[in-house]
Amino acid sequence: MSRTRVAVACPSCSPDAETAHEVLKDADPATVQCGECGHVHKESLPEERTVERRVVVSQGGESFTTQRSADPDEEVEMGDEFLLDTPEALMQVRVTGIETAEGRRGRVPFEAVETLWTRAVENVVVDVTLHPKEGGREETRSLELRVPGDEQFVVDETVSYGDEEFTVEGLVIRDGIADYDRKQFDYTGDAALAKDLKRVYARDEKSTAWSAW
């Protein structure tokens, strides 16, 4: 990918210190223009260094391993999302675990990472527990919905998916999601994104009670 800005010395205004330059032509040497004085000159640019690290991707109950290359100084932490180009597909993933040799926590430089554990969040599976409209909560059934990760579920909202129609009654948030002040939501209007949900509790609007026979 072509660079648009680099830090190099300017022979006109700053021969002994680097200043920000715009890359006019990315070649060897490159044609650059000083952001301070506007002087245009040619400069051999330093090579961009990257490191490659192991990435484990979890998707729909299965997982696979791939690699990601990045700037060694790029920082990463739990909850970060990024596009990952894999042999299977280009997918949006969220960091769920970071393995380093020193066991460091918080934001860490990519160079210190040994393995990134991630979950695909562009399209996700949401576990729904349904109870019949006029039945007891002990008469429940489970449902797996495959939906876009950014789809929103709202408490007391009735939704339809294929042959299923239900009213959301409760939302349980996955562990490690910092964007919510609670783990469980059950008040009218409470909302969460599909990619953040561990489970949805809902009332079936198409049936009353189920029989074992």
Confidence of residue 73 (pLDDT cuts 50, 70, 90): confident
Residue 117 lies in a domain: yes
Task: Give 98-132 pLDDT, tens digit per residue.
Answer: 999 887 667 899 999 999 999 999 999 999 999 99
Residue 14 shares a structural domain with residue 64:
no
Whether 79 and 147 share a structural domain: no
Shared-domain flag, residues 131 and 177: yes
95 and 58 in a common domain: yes
Over range 44-58, report the average pLDDT. 87
Range of the structural domain that residue 146 is part of: 124-204
209 located within any domain? no
Is 107 found in the same domain as 86? yes
The verdict on 128 and 169 lying in the same domain is yes
The vertex-171 CA angle with 165 and 172, nearest 5°, equals 135
Quick one: 96 and 163 in the same domain? no
My answer on whether 61 and 18 are in the same domain is: no
Q: Give the model confidence (pLDDT) of 7-28 as tens digits.
A: 899 999 999 998 989 999 888 8
196 and 132 co-located in one domain: yes
Whether residue 81 is contained in a domain is answered as yes
Q: What is the pLDDT of residue 137?
A: 58
How many domains are contained in the chain? 3
Structural domain includes residue 177: yes
